[in-house]
A and B are shown apart, each in its own frame.
Chain A
Amino acid sequence: MSAATARQAAAPQAEPESPRPAAVEIHGAHKWYGTHRVLDGIDLTVQPGQVAVILGPSGSGKSTLLRTVNHLEKLDVGHVSINGELIGVRRHGDRLKELSERAILAQRGRIGFVFQNFNLFPHLSVLDNVAAAPAATGRRSKAEARELGLALLARVGLADKADAYPRQLSGGQQQRVAIARALALEPGVILFDEPTSALDPELVGEVLAVIRDLATSGTTLIVVTHEIGFAREVADLVVFLDEGRIVEQGPPAQVLDDPQHPRTREFLSKVL
């Protein structure tokens, strides 16, 4: 609390409200690309404030699963809900109907998403990248959005880069800006899609440090990654995915150190 009040003194109006950590539930998720089955009946519950790490070989459906959580990918069967609210669809009798584009955008505005390739807007300054969403969605005034942006850039250690353009930054710095941009949504959950896979090895640490900091702040995080050490350190829940199915899930001590399924063991022996 004292840290929060200290920060509040620095930026009175723009301090991000501490949003309630969200519970994410995925029920019976199926998805096909043509005849190829990407997700094959996934049920997953992430409790509020939990850090879930999704592991698995490439092509196992990790990224697709993550992208269904904010409806960047549509499920063919099944549904996702955050704090009990269905994402991308609404109940219509006993069926699910897709929401309007506007409603989906409004839902996404409360879900942080961090991409493997950062996907910062190259023509906007770092600060404008971060402040764009709160201002454009009308949630904050322009001045408030700027203040919020500066506070968040300070939080990821990039206050001095506010006026730089993304391409003038290193990969690690760009990814930290992308995290600040996701935080500007004041999200209850943040989704990370291989956030360190596009980085030079020596830059991985700075990004993981920021995510670690978020993990202790109580926001729900779902992270797709290959960083096993990071998973062991911060994850509350490790999920191992293979061929669109959850093979094994549980606390890291169980899944990483004492895997039950041969497929998990095989994978871990390769990446460790």
Chain B
Amino acid sequence: MKEPPLPVRPPVGRPVTEDTRPPGDQPRSQPGPERPLAAQRVIPLRHPGRWITTVVVLVLVAQFAHGLVTNPFYQWGRFQYWFLRPVILNGLVITLEVTALSAVLGLAGGVLLAFGRLSRSPILRAVSWTYVWLFRSVPLIVVLLILYNASALYRTLSLGIPFGPGFVHFNESALATDLVVATVGLSLNEAAYASEVVRAGILSVDQGQHEAAASLGLPKGYQFTRIVLPQALRAIVPAYVNQLIGLIKGTSLVFYVSLLDLFGEVQSMGSTYPGDVVPLLMVATVWYVILTSVVSVAQFYVERYYSRGALRTMPPTPLQKLRAGVRDLRERIQLSRTVNG
């Protein structure tokens, strides 16, 4: 059960008399009916139901963990064998490459689209809106497969005057390696979602901030990069990290355009060694968990950075929390010593 609240530390160097003790510090055995009601400590409501549920959940969790370790189905020995195999690590590198490239390109595209949506030109607004509408409507896998087959649709790509002569020609089948197809597909898709994230962030900045920046005569670029964007990022970062985590997992679809990423390697190894399918899937699971965990930790610190000024006190870092916890524990122990001794 809940431990009783700690007694308030008695003032040091003075004998503890009945009067100097704070209310509620009375020994429980003598509640003192002669004490006025106003001086009584309020007894908090007990929650027996909560405790029962907690115990049930703990038992279920323990059961699941036990099964995870003891069930031979998982073949943890094979898991260990595969986990750091070069073939898996190669796949992991591809996953990281595709994620990083599409995250950067997608965000850049998203920022442009967001500017388009917020522009005063109705044409730019319409084009941005249509792009977002289109790419949010088409499943990513369909986008990837269309691009994969696109070299049949567009044989060459040219740089030149629109509708006029081209100066530079690319043979698309040479240009469109599997990595390029995968990256372009993911970036196109990512840009549509990122643009909404960025737009929401910019809209979240108070109109008064724009007015204040304008009234000070700050140059337009400065207004955006130093005043609006840092405040918008407070809203953008959590939403974009969400997006980024989706992207990390979304890269597993590039297997279908014959790019062997982490999931691709696991699939192909799985078909070669059918007995190892489960441990291989566990290998992929653990690697994806590690990647998203790294991103989540980074998110905490980035968010903390952009919360400067927005919060009166900064949220503590895990390290600070740990230190505070240790300090608290030490004080509690000291206190119980003084009370008992």
Contacts and interface: CB of A to CB of B under 8 A. Distances in A.
Contacts of B213: 121
Interface residues of B, number: 24
A105 to B, nearest CB: 4
A70 interface: yes
Interface string B211-245: 11111111110100011001100000000000000
A67 to B, nearest CB: 9
Contact of B231 (A106, A123, A132, A165): A123
A68 interface: no
A244 to B, nearest CB: 21
B208 interface: yes
Which of the four size classes fits the interface of chain A? Answer: 20 to 34
A136 B226 contact: yes
Contacts of A132: 216, 218, 226
B235 to A, nearest CB: 13
Contact of A168 (B215, B217, B230, B312): B312
A157 to B, nearest CB: 21
B309 interface: yes
A101 interface: yes
B218 A105 contact: yes
Nearest to B233: A123
Contacts of A111: 215
Given A122-B231, A132-B226, A165-B308, A137 B218 contact: yes
B310 interface: yes
Given A115-B208, A123-B230, A136-B222, A108 B214 contact: yes
B309 A119 contact: no
A106 B217 contact: yes
Interface of B: 206, 208-209, 211-220, 222, 226-227, 230-231, 306, 308-312
Contacts of A136: 218-219, 222, 226
B27 to A, nearest CB: 43
Nearest to A114: B215
Given A72-B214, A122-B309, A181-B216, 5 more contacts: A107-B217, A132-B216, A133-B217, A133-B218, A137-B217
Which 5 interchain pairs have the tightest Cβ spacing?
A109-B217, A119-B212, A165-B309, A108-B217, A119-B208
Contact of A167 (B215, B227, B230, B312): B312
Residue among B214, B215, B217, B311 with most chain A CB within 10 A: B215
A101 B227 contact: no
Contacts of B222: 136
B309 A105 contact: no
Given A123-B230, A123-B231, A70 B309 contact: no
Interface string A52-80: 00000000000000000010100000000
Interface in A79-108: 101-102, 105-108
Nearest to B234: A123
A124 B225 CA distance: 13
A167 B308 CA distance: 10
5 contacts: A72-B211, A102-B219, A109-B217, A166-B309, A168-B312
Nearest to B207: A119
Interface in A139-191: 165-168, 181, 185
Contacts of B216: 108-109, 113, 132-133, 181, 185
A117 interface: yes
A105 B231 contact: no
A135 to B, nearest CB: 10
B309 A124 contact: yes
Contacts of A246: none
Contact of A119 (B211, B308, B310): B211
